[in-house]
Amino acid sequence: MIGESWVTTTVDKLEEWGRNNSFWPLPFGTACCAIEFMSVVSSHYDMARFGYEVVRFSPRQSDVMIVAGTITDKMAPTLKRIYDQMPDPKWVVSMGACACSGGFYRAYHVMQGIDEIVPVDVYVPGCPPTPEGLMYGILQLKEKIKRDSKRRLKEKRAHGDDSGSAAA
């Protein structure tokens, strides 16, 4: 039916547009990177310009977790639990060398990258990343979401029906 495919495309587009312009970030800030994250949300850099307006500290109300800071083994279960509490769809931005790989703390109490326990969408390098670096990272996340929805659309077309919508 022509109507069906036309409608699905538009809803996907609409959904993608909505997602892409109204992230609700959950800052999981622990260390020095969190201070730089605060700079990014403050007046000078103002992350709200890119649709990251509503910073939420409750995992239930957010869809992108920005992990800013060193994650230690003691913190790991908390990080995992908070990630699990976020509703789908959800993304993770790993800000800074520590969150990406443990940074220069190759040590007995530091997790060597948060991808040991949660999937990461965008890695932002730096110690700490400059505010510009973090902004580039979150813009990359938008690109990624666009790509993902295009891919989903393709998959749907390939299946020729709405069976792909379960992936959304």
> Which residues in the 129-168 window bind ligand SF4 by CB under 6 A?
none
> Which residues in the 89-118 window bind ligand SF4 by CB under 6 A?
96-98, 103
Give helix 32-41 / helix 131-159 axis angle, nearest 10°. 80
> Which residues in the 51-110 window bind other proteins by CB under 8 A?
57, 69-70, 72-79, 81-82, 104-110
Closest CA to 95 of 14, 164, 144, 39: 39
81 Cα distance to chain centroid: 16
Candidates 11-19, 30-38, 133-141, 143-151; binding stretch for ligand SF4 (CB under 6 A): 30-38
Torsion on CA atoms 123, 129, 130, 134, rounded to nearest 10: 30
Regarding 137 and contact with other proteins (CB under 8 A), the answer is: no
Q: Which residue has the tokens 């929805």?
A: 149
DSSP 94: E
d(CA 27, CA 60): 13
Regarding 29 and contact with other proteins (CB under 8 A), the answer is: yes
Residues near other proteins, by CB under 8 A: 28-32, 34-36, 38-39, 42-44, 57, 69-70, 72-79, 81-82, 104-110, 127-128, 130
Residues near ligand SF4, by CB under 6 A: 31-33, 69-70, 96-98, 103, 127-128
